[in-house]
Chain A
Amino acid sequence: MPIEIRMPAVSPSMTEGSLARWLKKEGETVKAGDLLAEIETDKAIVELVAESAGTLARIVVPDESNNVQVGALIAVLLAPGEPAASLAQSSTATPAAAAAAAHAPATAAPSAPSASPAPSAPSAPSAPSVPSAPSGRILASPLARRIAAERGVQLASLRGSGPNGRIVRLDVEAAPAAEAAPAAAAAAASSISAAAYEEIPNSSMRRMIAKRLSDAKQSIPHYYLTIDCVIDALQKLRQEIKDCPDGAKLSVNDFVIKAAALALQKLPGVNASWTEAAIRRYSSVDVAVAVATPTGLITPIVRNAERKKLTQISAEVKDLGLRARAGKLAAEEYQGGGFTISNLGMYGIREFAAIINPPQSAILAVGAAEQRAVVKDGALAIATMMTCTLSADHRVVDGALGAEYLAAFKKLIEHPLSLLL
């Protein structure tokens, strides 16, 4: 029997998601463990892994399909050696049934052979609608493909007007000016100077970052609070811990994570999300840490950070960072979290304001630890300072609460022994 591949729930709360793109083509052979497709949720892109070997016989839900219900049939895999003819036997593999499955609610879909309408033979010639190819294969003429490539038009975004919905030249030429424009501009520019710019096609990760952050910045009423922390005691403590017999090398950021977590525990109103109906307050303190990777920003999570020892946090962050840069994080490792820390101190940035990582309500932007001239007890003195800026969602965290949080954080970070308790 052909193996049905269904839309997975990549997070516990997920009911639907988008199929970003297939990493295998129809007809390609697949080994167990191969990456089949990229699934997009509102939070991240997750790779769909093949659980068994075979041939990807049919892609039911094509690239860039939105609102695919969890449990919906998205592809059919033929076991090794299984004849293609057996595809027909699998009733669910027919496009008609697949369409039905795609609309079925998550709970009903998985195994029960849905009462799919018998695919009626297309006898009555009535509606002059153009049937779009049900598979992931894009029907397009060679000329259309070439012009699309040249103009940077995504074929998958077009409706074909040719036979069987084939995309022909006119369809590409009529593609929205917005899509065609950059290439036209590029062409114009290139006629002036040979290479005015180069275009790097957007990866789905890039598009995801772009979408989430523009949404965040446009829809969340951000406000910003900045505070200076004196971290001489912290630096001293770090040195002492390092010098211990079983000494550990802890970074400033490890302390920041712990302090942020303890402050969240103290002020749970910040560890929360806005929803239209209610403010969702999280019961665990999960702190996400922004990590720059070659392909873009990702935010792995230190869960229950308030309960973890600094050495544990340190080890975890190191491991998550390494694997993030290698692109080897599992979805649950970067999905969720109630708060994010972004530290650009290592670049010498003194202070900055970060964009909130939705659906969270606050992000802490941490600057460099540096010696500054300060006035202490009426005299000029030198202190090691670190400036932190909290960006908060005013819908969830009022200004006073944000300030209270930042003050709590400052207190903890300036009294680092409290972080060891």
Chain B
Amino acid sequence: MTEKSFDIVVIGAGPGGYVAAIRAAQLGLKTAVVEREHLGGICLNWGCIPTKALLKSAEVLRQAQHAADYGIEVAQVSFNLAQVVKRSRAISAQLQAGVKHLLKKNKVEVFTGSGKLAGAGKVAVSQDGKTITLTARHIILAAGARARIMPGLEPDGQRVWSYKEAMVPEAMPKSLLVVGSGAIGIEFASFYRTLGAEVTVVEVLERILPVEDAEISALARKSFEKQGIKVLTAATVKSLKRGTENVTAAIESAGKESQLTVDRVIVAVGISANTEKLGLEGTKVRIERGHVVVNQWLETDEPGVYAIGDLTAPPWLAHKASHEAVICVEKIAGQADVHPLDIMKIPGCTYSHPQIASIGLSEEKARAGGRELKVGRFPFQANGKAIALGEAEGLIKTIFDAKTGELIGAHMIGAEVTELIQGYAIAKTLETTEAELMNTVFPHPTLSEMMHESVLDAYGRVIHF
């Protein structure tokens, strides 16, 4: 049994953990990271990145199918699913190697194996029956999360998939049922629909993408339905009858039950934090609603133990995990000028077609706050660049506090909005008011001009609509 000592040991090397380790090393702390499976975590290997690679393939297919709209003649358009998946996996592999290199460059020691707390200031790392103990002044838990499993809807890897299997299909399902209409479910629905599957999305709540602004949800639904996706809201999948070739789902909606038989089912009903194998028993670390409780500096109730990313409270997003990582480490290192994360300033994106992006409060929530609002809207169909791109579907909506000019929220649907939202993220972080946004010069012709026009519209000054 060997024992090595560090300033910081991080358990988990996802976008939370590996960023924490690199930042700690940058600050001169002796740092180790423990990872049991894959550097880069879910994000890099089974989440953000590989799904975006798949969606890009779908996008290229759609473009090719619509090439004639642009005066381009393409003889015959088809796709090779194995190649699509292969490309996605190759990208994950490439980035995983990149993370490995970054950790090495920053002199972060990587331990392969499962890590768990083993008494104050100790982490036990076990692999293949062997265990070593690391001592650390500070331990950051960044173990992430996995797909949530619902009784009756357990993925079997064959016909009922979690996101992992959905990402590496061997054959195209002709028909697909997606349970859950959060970002993950919607992205898969969009991908498979573009590739030609009959897709049905079932959502238990009243509307799809329930965390988004209701107006955006409605526009998204309309667009998906136009593309041929069937959307059932306020509906519950009661049970799945798994046959040899297909699955029959019992779906209850408005008190009535119906049957739907599909080739494959993707269950995307949320995540469960990986809290179980971390040795939290007997520590003061508290768990609420399945996630580790931390304060604004990511400290758990156990001295010297911190938690970040999907292990903690929502939003469960890679950039949230990374940002928490930096705050946590800088605080540990005693850096000056460290500021807590404000979730109102974290953008959220869905990379379907059309894309959806948002930051801050929805109109409904903003109204519930009792403030007087100014709401601006600008449609893609009035933007020159959108029309030139052949992407005239979408909307940019902004919500201001009428009294102070605070940008309370921004909600977008349409082409490339996931690349646009950061403009409003900067605005929110700098606490600009409508005045600075109006005074900003947006380049022409770009989609970003709609961000300007939406603000102008909120104040009755829109030019192009």
Residues of A within 8 A of B (CB): 125-131, 141-144, 146-147, 150, 161-164, 168-169
Report whether over half of chain B's contact residues are helix, strand or loop; otherwise say mixed.
loop
Known interface pairs A141-B430, A169-B406; A161-B338 also in contact (CB < 8 Å): no
Q: Does B333 contact A (CB under 8 A)?
A: yes
Q: Specify which chain B residues have a CB less than 8 angstroms from the CB of A142 in the assembled complex.
A: 405, 430-433, 435-436
Q: Which of B334, B404, B406 contacts A126 (CB 8 A)?
A: B334
Q: Which residues of B contact A129 (CB under 8 A)?
A: 336
Q: Which listed residue (A128, A150, A164) contacts B338, Cβ 8 A?
A: A128
**B256 to chain A: which residues have CB within 8 Å?**
none
Collect the chain A residues with CB atoms within 8 Å of residue B337's CB: 128, 130-131, 163-164
Residues in B neighbouring A128, C-beta threshold 8 A: 331, 334-338
Q: A142-B432, A143-B432 are in contact. Are A125 and B404 (CB under 8 A)?
A: no
B336 contacts A146, CB within 8 Å? Answer: no
For B405, B431, B432, the residue with the greatest tally of chain A CB atoms inside 10 Å of its CB is B431
- In the bound complex, CA of A142 to CA of B405 (Å): 9
CB distance from B300 to the nearest CB of A (A): 20
Interface bracket on B: 10 to 19
Q: How far is the CB of B339 from chain A (nearest CB, A)?
A: 7
In the complex, are the beta carbons of B335 and A143 less than 8 A apart? no
The answer on a CB contact under 8 Å between A131 and B405 is no
Instruction: List the B residue with the shortest CB-CB distance to A151.
Output: B404
Provide a sorted-by-A list of 29 A–B residue pairs whose CB atoms are within 8 angstroms: A125-B335, A125-B336, A126-B334, A127-B334, A127-B336, A128-B331, A128-B334, A128-B335, A128-B336, A128-B337, A142-B430, A142-B431, A142-B432, A142-B433, A142-B435, A142-B436, A143-B405, A143-B431, A143-B432, A143-B433, A146-B405, A147-B404, A150-B403, A150-B404, A161-B339, A162-B339, A164-B337, A168-B431, A169-B406
B433/A146 in contact, CB under 8 A: yes
Please tell me if B27 contacts chain A, counting CB pairs below 8 Å.
yes
Whole-angstrom distance between the alpha carbons of A126 and B334 in the complex? Answer: 5
Please give me the residue from chain B that is nearest to A122 by CB atom: B336
Q: Which residues from B are CB-within-8-Å of A161?
A: 339
**Quick one: CB contact mask for B323-338 with A, threshold 8 Å, 1 for yes?**
0000000010111111
Shortest 4 CB-CB contacts between residues of A and residues of B: A141-B431, A143-B431, A125-B335, A142-B433
What does the 1/0 interface line of B390-403 toward A look like (CB < 8 Å)? Answer: 00000000000001
**Residue with the highest number of chain B CB atoms closer than 10 Å, among A128, A162, A164:** A128
Known: A125-B336, A161-B339, A169-B406. 20 other contacts (CB 8 A): A125-B27, A126-B334, A127-B336, A128-B334, A128-B337, A129-B336, A141-B430, A142-B430, A142-B435, A143-B404, A143-B405, A143-B406, A143-B431, A143-B432, A143-B433, A147-B404, A163-B337, A163-B339, A164-B337, A168-B431
Q: Contacts of A147 on B, CB cut-off 8 Å?
A: 404
Main secondary structure of the interface of A (DSSP, over half): loop
Q: Once bound together, how far apart are the Cα atoms of A168 and B345, in whole Å?
A: 14
- Contacts of B394-436 to chain A: CB distance below 8 A: 403-406, 430-433, 435-436
Write out the residue numbers on chain B whose beta carbons fall within 8 Å of the beta carbon of A126: 334
Report the bound CA distance from A41 to B195 in whole Å.
80
Rounded to whole angstroms, the CA-CA distance of A252 and B206 in the bound complex is 87
In angstroms, Cα B224 to Cα A383, docked, is: 101
Contact A130 B404 (CB under 8 A): no
Residues of B close to A125: CB separation below 8 A? 27, 333-336
B325 to chain A, nearest CB (A): 17
Name which of B430, B435, B436 has the most chain A CB atoms within 10 A of its CB: B430
Q: Given A143-B405, A169-B406 in contact, is the A131-B433 Cβ separation under 8 Å?
A: no
| Interchain CA distance A143-B338 in the complex, whole Å | 21
Interface string of B315-352 (1 = CB under 8 A from A): 00000000000000001011111110000000000000
Write the nearest CB–CB distance from B23 to chain A, whole angstroms. 12
Contacts of A146 in B (CB 8 A): 404-405, 433
Q: Give complex CA distance A142, B334 in Å.
A: 29
Q: B27: which A residues are within 8 A, CB to CB?
A: 125
**Alpha-carbon separation in the docked complex, A141 to B431 (Å):** 6
Closest to B435 in A: A142
Closest Cβ neighbor of B407 among chain A residues:
A143
Alpha-carbon separation in the docked complex, A146 to B436 (Å): 12
Within 8 A of A (CB), among B150-173: none
Residues in A whose Cβ lies below 8 Å from that of B405 = 142-143, 146
- Chain A positions within 8 Å of B336 at CB level: 125, 127-131
Q: How far is B339's CA from A168's CA once the two chains are assembled, in angstroms?
A: 12
What's the Cα separation between A147 and B336 when bound, in Å?
27
Report which of B335, B338, B431 forms a contact with A144, defined as CB distance below 8 A: B431
Q: How far is the CA of A125 from the CA of B405 in the complex (A)?
A: 37
Task: Report A-chain residues with C-beta under 8 Å of the C-beta of B331.
Answer: 128
Which A residues lie within 8 Å of B335 (CB)? Answer: 125, 128
CB distance from B7 to the nearest CB of A (A): 13
Q: How far is the CA of A141 from the CA of B429 in the complex (A)?
A: 9
Q: Hey, which chain A residues are within 8 Å of B431, CB to CB?
A: 141-144, 168-169
Contacts of B339 in A (CB 8 A): 161-163
Chain B neighbourhood of A127, CB < 8 A? 334, 336
**Of residues 12 to 53 in B, which have CB atoms within 8 Å of A's CB atoms?**
27
Interface core residue of B333, B336, B338 (most chain A CB under 10 Å): B336
A130-B336 Cα distance, complex, nearest whole Å: 6
Q: How far is the CB of B253 from chain A (nearest CB, A)?
A: 44
Residues 417-465 of B contacting A (Cβ, < 8 Å): 430-433, 435-436
User: B436 — nearest CB in chain A belongs to which residue?
Assistant: A142
Q: What is the minimal beta-carbon distance from A328 to any residue of chain B, in angstroms?
A: 39
Residue in B27, B337, B405, B406 with the greatest tally of chain A CB atoms within 10 Å:
B337
Could you tell me the distance between the alpha carbons of A114 and B335 in the complex, rounded to whole angstroms?
A: 31
- Distance in angstroms between the alpha carbons of A164 and B431 in the assembled complex: 15
CB contacts (< 8 Å) of A150 on chain B: these are: 403-404
Q: Measured between alpha carbons, how far is A168 from B337 in the docked complex, in Å?
A: 13
CB distance from A140 to the nearest CB of B (A): 9
- In Å, the complex CA distance between A134 and B170 comes to 64
Per the bound structure, the CA–CA distance linking A365 and B433 in Å amounts to: 54
B338 — which chain A residues lie within 8 A by C-beta?
Answer: 128
Q: How far is the CB of B400 from chain A (nearest CB, A)?
A: 11
